Amino acid sequence: MVSLPSFRQVRRLQSVSRSPVLSHFGETISGALSIRAFGATEHFVKTLEYLQDNSVNCHIHAASLDGCRMVLVQLLTSLLSFGAALVTVLVRHSLDPGMVGMVLSYTLQMADEVSLVGLMSVMLTASLVAVERVMEYFNLPQEAPWRNAKVQPAADWPTLGEVTFSDYSAAYRNGDKPVLQNINFKSPGGQKVGVVGRTGAGKSTCALALFRVVEPKSGSIVVDDVDVTEIGLHDLRLKMTIIPQDPVLFDGTLRWNLDPFNEHPDEALWKALEQAHLKDFVSSQESGLDCDIAEGGDNLSAGQRQLVCLARALLRQSKVLVLDEATSSVDLETERLVKQTTRAEFQSTTVITIAHKLHTVMDCDQILVLSAGEIVEQGSPSDLLKIKDGLFFKMARDAGLT
């Protein structure tokens, strides 16, 4: 029993050291093509060796402790048997041979049971480590309620798509430095807003804030006179759409990826695919809308995956659409198709385009230029280009747009 605390700590280290190995292995398998293409094989192999060494060291310590435990248990049981035999020898004149045999027999059996109890105690202690890990997840901070029975938006909310940030500040964790500070801007319904800035300026965090993935430290976000922090997450996220940089597709049929709840007829699905310039491709598939999509859309090109997400957005017809660097990793033709469809099919929708490439937002009605989590410039592209010492002008000049 003396080794139980140490054994528990080693088991905990085993559990903690195993997770990075499995995560690294899974990431390496999924990104094998990119790893080979960029010549990073040696780096990933060395990282795996380092993580594996840590994990093996923990296993070696666990095996060593287990061996020590077995030696201690065997020693204790041997001492118990020796003690019983010694007592029977000392009192042999007062005990008949049958009684002596029974005592020694039961002593040996009890020694086996003591060994078993020690083994079960160690196994129980090791299993408690798994319980501790589960409790860690139980104690993780939870998101806001999925629904708020006291405050529910109207069924047709939002009707205009007017988005207002008022003195909004946010941080990823309590106590961390704010990643957004005093954000103030108003986008009338149907306006096209571009959000630009250097890497780490807080562009994508604006999208996270709108969907309440990041909660505010101060200020508010109001969509059509409804404070987004007062309604449930389901009501909020159901009414808005985002097309992320990395398309999210699931293992299943194309129909299920477009319309998982069967809310739209086939005619609407085909119309959305036509608007997203995917109709010809889907028509060429033997199963049509029921063609298989691999996990993550691995059987589609990067451009096709992004167009599927665009078709999904066309089906939803939300009044607020966020493009989070949606065209940053696709070819020029797909980028052109996405921009063409966005202009034609989302004319009455508020479109917030978060972009690293400035040419994708030059036709927006309003530009927000972020730096270190703050809006440093705001206005139309033409007005901002007139500010020769401004950040937007410098970025446009670096991109060859001036």
The pLDDT value recorded for residue 199 is 84
Residue ranges of the chain whose pLDDT lies below 50: 1-2
Question: What is the distance between the alpha carbons of residues 191 and 25, in angstroms, rounded to a whole number?
Answer: 45
The pLDDT value recorded for residue 266 is 92
- What's the predicted TM-score (pTM) here? 0.74
The pLDDT value recorded for residue 3 is 55
The pLDDT value recorded for residue 180 is 92
The pLDDT value recorded for residue 322 is 93
The pLDDT value recorded for residue 376 is 93
Q: Where are the domains of the chain?
A: 4-138, 191-204+229-398
Q: Which fold has domain 191-204+229-398?
A: Rossmann fold (3.40.50)
The pLDDT value recorded for residue 360 is 86
Q: What residues contact 161, with CB distance under 8 A and at least 6 apart?
A: 189, 190, 223, 224, 319, 320, 348, 349, 350
The pLDDT value recorded for residue 309 is 92
